[in-house]
Amino acid sequence: MSAFKPIILTAIPVAFSEDGSVSIEGNTAILRKCAQSGVDGAFVLGTTGEFPSLSEDERRALTRLSLDVLSNKRVVVHVGAASIYEVERLIALARAEGAKEVAAITPYFLPATDDALKQFYARISEVSDGLGVFVYIFKDRTGVTVSPQLMAELAKLPNIVGVKISGESLETVGEYRKLLPPDFLVLTGSDREIGRLDQVGANGVISGIASVYPEPFVSMAEAVANGVTDRASLQEDVNATVDGLLGDIERLKTGLRLQGIPAGHARMAVGRPDAATMALIEGLNARFGRPVA
């Protein structure tokens, strides 16, 4: 039996009502689905959670709700923002609500030098005693590059325990892994690669798609842990959900609504699925959809 089992953290979407306000009913249902699945935990208020559109009060309320509903799961609360001033406030809010682990995306919109990034995460490290902190790298969304060499320096800071790397190939993730301590957690947003993580030493995935259809990812993680070598059919299931939902927020919410979860629509300006995409998601739902108990 393999000693390695990939970690699966679900990137949780945020449900909104028709008027655009946060829906407690919808968010409770999304979180309950996560709680009832076989994933290890959740990554809340991140990119899939449309964090730039949320107020501090909304982030506080959703943090509290997530920790309450997912009391039996690992919960990483994203506290990222464009300025360290905002991040410090969000860390304090997350701590006050009982969070044990947080993540902070790099600054975004304006360019950031390596020295500025070092100062940014050094300050996060200083104010995060008692918390585990994940650096969140997503160059395609932020425009900011964190090289493997810079990440290795950031990993030396107190309280920095891991990194989430999105938008990069598994081979690139492996370049980060080579320079990081063995006990440092390396998580990728490329959930398609969950069956290959051990090839580069990555520890797990953070998957928005698993918030809708977790079973293909859970099955693959169990197969890896059990040393199953013929995983072609499991990979086909993973590929089907990844190719169908694409991590697109409206597609994710469509899949949730088809399972009876009032996920609403995106608050941010993204397009809604056309008829062909709706038919594709309905087909996925027929295969992988499960009602929330």
Residue-wise DSSP of 213-266: --HHHHHHHHHHHTT----HHHHHHHHHHHHHHTT-HHHHHHHHHHTT------
Round to whole Å and give the CA distance between 277 and 283: 10
For residue 137, the cross-strand partners are 165
pLDDT digits (tens, 9 = 90+) for 164-186: 999 999 999 999 999 999 999 99
Buried b vs exposed e over 264-291: b needs ≥16 C-beta within 10 Å?
Answer: bbbbeeeeebeeebeebbeebbeebbee
Tokens of 198: 């051990």
Share of the chain above pLDDT 70, in %: 99
Which DSSP symbol is given to 157?
S
Joined together, the tokens standing for residue 166 give 């999105």
User: By C-alpha distance, which of 237, 247, 168 is closest to 207?
Assistant: 247
Q: Residue 80: count other Cβ atoms within 10 Å of its Cβ.
A: 25
Q: In b/e form, how buried is each residue of 128-142, taking b as 16+ CB within 10 angstroms?
A: beebbbbbbbbeeeb
108, with CB counted inside 10 A (0-12, 13-18, 19+), is middle
Predicted local distance difference test score (pLDDT) of residue 274: 97
pLDDT recorded at residue 240: 98
Contacts of 275 (CB under 8 A, 6+ apart): none
> pTM for the whole thing?
0.97
* Residue 105 pLDDT greater than 60, yes or no: yes
pLDDT at 1 over 60: no
The predicted structure's pLDDT at residue 292: 86
Partners of 206 in beta bridges = 9
pLDDT at 293: 79
Taking only the tens place, the pLDDT of each residue in 192-219 is: 999 999 999 999 999 999 999 999 999 9
Q: For residue range 22-42, what is the model confidence (pLDDT) as tens digits?
A: 999 999 999 999 999 999 999
CA–CA separation, 91 and 73 (whole Å)? 20
Alpha carbons within 13 A on the beta-carbon side of 157? 27
Q: Residue 282 pLDDT more than 70?
A: yes
Looking at residue 2, what is its pLDDT? 54
